[in-house]
Amino acid sequence: MTLQEFFRENPKTAIAFSGGVDSAYLLYAGIHYGAEVHAYYVKSAFQPQFELDDALRLANELHAEMTVIDADVLSEPAVASNPRDRCYYCKRAIFEKILNAAAADGFTVLLDGTNASDDAGDRPGMRALRELEVKSPLRICGLTKSEIRRLSKEAGLFTWDKPAYACLATRIPTGEPITLEKLQATERAEDFLFGLGFTDFRVRRGTDGAARLQFPENQLERVLANRKAIVTELKKDYPSVVLDLEVRGE
């Protein structure tokens, strides 16, 4: 099946819109193929401000209808306690909010940006999508992340080369309670590093509360050149700052 065929079969759909590469292209495709689509962005403490800014910018450029929904994810004990399946409870709560808002607007089909490169497996977030019967057209149509980036570039979407960005909650060790203060410290630290020109990095919280920095190898020289400024800024929120040379994961 192609996306054109999918939207022919589903001419009126709601889209869970994050402002990232995948959901951005999905929104573009729906509009391009003549479907009636409405984007829903969920604003929570887990998403940094730049994600909302990107979502608003793209919706404006595409002349797409977009609704911003506020969600207090930390009010959910199963989310704030940060268990291994936190993503299941978080995604279920968020998508239920979208489904309710979409239904009130007359939309009964909800789409998300999961693509063919995503490992469905039994990941908690994927389980929530299955239970709520959310459709993933990019995955259904066999579109991989690299293909979506290529198609997005051809379509002139500024999101085509946007780095992957997992939610702020992933920076906190599993089992350690998530608080607004910890999330805000993470966002301040990553905003500062973005401002220095770094990309595709993570500021993780160590079990001792330290800021554990993960960068692509080709940026390490610049990290060391900015070492003093980075340490000075991040120690406003963290007791210590360490550079993780072993791994940079999502």
- Alpha-carbon distance of 56 to 37, in angstroms, equals 15
Same domain, 157 and 197: no
- Using the predicted structure, report yes or no on whether residue 249 has a pLDDT greater than 90: no
Is residue 147 included in any domain, yes or no? yes
Q: What is the pLDDT of residues 133-188, one digit of tens each?
A: 999 999 999 999 999 999 999 999 999 999 888 899 999 999 999 999 999 999 99
Q: How many angstroms separate the Cα of 134 from the Cα of each of 15, 35, 140, 141, 217? A: 10, 17, 12, 15, 37
- Alpha-carbon distance of 51 to 162, in angstroms, equals 11
Q: Encode burial over 16-42: b for 16+ CB neighbours within 10 A, e otherwise.
A: bbbbbbbbbbbbbbbbebebebbbbbb
Residue 8: CATH number of its domain: 3.40.50.620
Same domain, 157 and 190: no
Same domain, 73 and 196: no
Same domain, 13 and 72: yes
Same domain, 77 and 184: no
Number of folded domains that form the chain? 2
Q: What is the pLDDT of residues 182-215, one digit of tens each?
A: 999 999 999 999 999 999 899 999 999 999 999 9
What pLDDT was estimated at residue 122? 57
Same domain, 116 and 220: no
Same domain, 103 and 142: yes
Is residue 131 included in any domain, yes or no? yes
Of 161, 196, 230, the position where a domain reaches its end is: 161
Same domain, 26 and 106: yes
The DSSP secondary structure of 184-213, one letter per residue, reads HHHHHHHHHHHHTT--S-EEEEPTTS-EEE
Which range marks the domain in which residue 142 is found? 3-161
Same domain, 105 and 219: no
